[in-house]
């Protein structure tokens, strides 16, 4: 029996320590739950400012499968694939269709040639197709709800015209102004193409009737063949200098390229146009093509996004354009593109940040998905930094105050009793005083406090003992006086 006593005492001591820890944990939780609620509220507020995770798939509209737009879109897709993002390429008939798809939300981004406008859907009433197509919306309506990601390269406006007298050496006066084409059969591009919209605006500026039946609505490829065969007099073409159609027409012996002598005036009148120079011999040094510096007009190929494109995907697409279009070319210097040149479309905020400071900091050094995860987590961690850390620093003081408050309540009653005894001691209440002290001592003995604060309980018991001695002394004083 005696052998079991130490083990039993040890067991009860362990139980007591466990109870003390549980009470300490309860006190700690009671202190921390308001802090946790405040931080949780901060997380909820911060979550409202976190962009949802970007989709891993989005769509871009370009031209036909043989167009420059389509080729560039394929290069973008390969770059984005490395970041685990799929770019779906949607072939179209041209910039006008791209613009329609953007406005309807069928695609997230698209190539749009500078100066492209949409025809009125109701303009066909009582007019032929060409007339209906030429009635256009105001530019502000065309791009409402859309945002520009910037221009990616210059698109030269080539105006090729036929001179049948070149071969015989009887070259007529070269054409340097569009007004000289009045009455000619001119190819202005297919109905959904960007070149058609631009050609109409340029011809109208030169008082050439755009309802004229001599305007040809065929595509650029068909127009090139018709021009070489002598079926038309001139053709508008927008394409890169390397394009096969441009190379073929530049090398055609009876086809000339118009030198825009009034190029500066056009750029002032149409802000989306730019003046560029095709240097002599740039196409072919041996054959000296062209035979002189040729002034051209150029628009820009713009990347336009609708409001549904996720900002992170817009930033990723801009990084791809910088890789694809950052090299020097016929009409551009290294690093000149992408850039915000066509101001007829409002610049997207993420594009503005990109042009000012480049890609987001983390995306320069980390994979796209990892950088995006850290950026989103950082926003969510702001409440932890701004709220949790300061609150945790004051938590020990709050915890200590809670524990001390339990002991101080007993001190309040003890002080009240001591004052009562000192000021108006009543011998008849002597036993009542002692009973009240016993209850205080019993309460102190059963007051559960963490081990780190046990000294407060012992100090309280010492003070209770001092008051008891004082009460006993007051009782004995009258007795001593009677004996004396």
How far is residue 349 from each of residues 144, 314, 386, measured CA to CA in Å?
Answer: 16, 10, 27
Under the banding of pLDDT at 50, 70 and 90, the label for residue 241 is confident
**Same structural domain, 277 and 407:** no
Residues shown for the chain: 484
Q: What is the share, in percent, of the chain residues with pLDDT greater than 90? A: 25
pLDDT exceeds cutoff 80 at 458: yes
**Same structural domain, 176 and 229:** yes
Is 395 among the domain residues? yes
How is residue 204 written in tokens?
A: 């109208």
**Same structural domain, 95 and 235:** yes
Q: Higher confidence at residue 197 or residue 264?
A: 264
Under the banding of pLDDT at 50, 70 and 90, the label for residue 29 is low
295-317 pLDDT tens trace:
999 999 999 999 889 888 999 99
433-455 pLDDT tens trace:
888 888 888 887 777 776 677 78
Domain total of the chain: 2
pLDDT exceeds cutoff 80 at 480: no
Please give the pLDDT value at position 484.
52
Is 382 among the domain residues? no
Give the domain range for residue 82: 57-359
Under the banding of pLDDT at 50, 70 and 90, the label for residue 478 is low
Is 364 among the domain residues? no
pLDDT exceeds cutoff 70 at 467: yes
Contact between 160 and 235 under an 8 Å Cβ cutoff? The reply is: yes
Please give the pLDDT value at position 7.
66
How is residue 145 written in tokens?
A: 């709800």
**Same structural domain, 218 and 77:** yes
- CATH, residue 230: 3.40.190.10
**Same structural domain, 323 and 432:** no
**Same structural domain, 187 and 303:** yes
* Measured distance CA(149)–CA(345) in Å, rounded: 9
* Measured distance CA(108)–CA(90) in Å, rounded: 11
Q: What is the pTM of this model?
A: 0.65
Q: 359, 378, 406 — which closes off a domain?
A: 359
**DSSP 8-class letter at 384:** I
**Same structural domain, 295 and 336:** yes
**Same structural domain, 178 and 201:** yes
pLDDT exceeds cutoff 50 at 95: yes
* Measured distance CA(301)–CA(115) in Å, rounded: 10
Q: Higher confidence at residue 380 or residue 158?
A: 158
**Same structural domain, 31 and 64:** no
**DSSP 8-class letter at 358:** -
* End-to-end C-alpha distance for the chain, whole angstroms: 57
Contact between 473 and 425 under an 8 Å Cβ cutoff? The reply is: no
Secondary structure class of 206 (helix, strand, coil): coil
Is 460 among the domain residues? yes
Is 377 among the domain residues? no
Is 30 among the domain residues? yes
pLDDT exceeds cutoff 50 at 476: yes
**Same structural domain, 21 and 109:** no
Is 401 among the domain residues? yes
């Amino acid at each position: 029996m005696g052998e079991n006593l130490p083990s039993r005492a040890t067991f009860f001591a362990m139980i007591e320590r466990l109870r003390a820890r549980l009470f300490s944990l309860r006190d700690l939780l009671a202190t921390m739950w308001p802090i946790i609620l405040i931080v949780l509220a901060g997380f909820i507020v911060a979550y409202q400012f976190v962009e949802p995770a970007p989709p891993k798939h989005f769509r871009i509209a370009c031209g036909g499968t043989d167009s420059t737009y389509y080729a560039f879109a394929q290069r973008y897709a390969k770059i984005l694939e490395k970041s685990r993002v799929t770019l779906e390429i949607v072939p179209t008939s041209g910039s006008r269709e791209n613009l329609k798809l953007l406005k309807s939300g069928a695609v997230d981004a698209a190539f749009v040639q500078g100066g492209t406008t949409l025809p009125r859907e109701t303009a066909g009433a009582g007019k032929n197709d060409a007339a209906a197509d030429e009635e256009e919306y105001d530019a502000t309506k065309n791009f409402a709800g859309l945002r520009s990601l910037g221009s990616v390269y210059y698109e030269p406006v080539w105006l090729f015209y036929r001179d049948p007298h070149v071969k015989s050496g009887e070259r007529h006066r070269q054409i340097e102004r569009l007004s000289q084409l009045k009455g000619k059969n001119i190819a202005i591009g297919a109905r959904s193409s960007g070149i058609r919209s631009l050609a109409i605006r340029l011809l109208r500026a030169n008082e050439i009737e755009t309802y004229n039946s001599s305007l040809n609505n065929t595509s650029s490829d068909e127009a090139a063949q018709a021009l070489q065969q002598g079926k038309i007099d001139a053709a508008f073409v927008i394409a890169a200098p390397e394009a096969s159609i441009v190379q073929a027409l530049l090398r055609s012996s009876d086809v000339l390229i118009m030198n825009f002598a009034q190029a500066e005036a056009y750029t002032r009148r149409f802000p989306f146009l730019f003046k560029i120079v095709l240097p002599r011999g740039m196409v072919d040094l041996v054959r000296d093509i062209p035979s002189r510096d040729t002034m051209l007009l150029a628009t820009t190929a713009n990347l336009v996004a609708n409001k549904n494109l996720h900002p992170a995907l817009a930033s990723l697409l801009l990084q791809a354009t910088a890789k694809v279009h950052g090299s020097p070319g016929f009409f551009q210097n290294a690093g000149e593109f992408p850039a915000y040149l066509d101001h007829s479309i409002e610049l997207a905020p993420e594009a503005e940040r990109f042009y000012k400071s480049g890609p987001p900091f983390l995306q320069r050094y980390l994979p796209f998905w990892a950088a995006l995860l850290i950026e989103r987590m950082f926003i969510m961690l702001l409440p932890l930094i701004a709220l949790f850390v300061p609150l945790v620093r004051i938590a020990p003081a709050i915890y200590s105050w809670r524990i001390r408050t339990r002991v101080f309540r007993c001190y309040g009653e003890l002080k009240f009793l001591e004052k009562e005894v000192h000021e108006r001691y009543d011998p008849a209440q002597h036993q009542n005083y002692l009973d009240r002290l016993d209850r205080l001592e019993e309460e102190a003995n059963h007051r559960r406090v963490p081990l780190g604060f046990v000294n407060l309980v012992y100090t309280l018991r010492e003070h209770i003992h001092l008051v008891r001695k004082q009460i006993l002394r007051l009782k004995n004083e009258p007795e001593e006086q009677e004996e004396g």
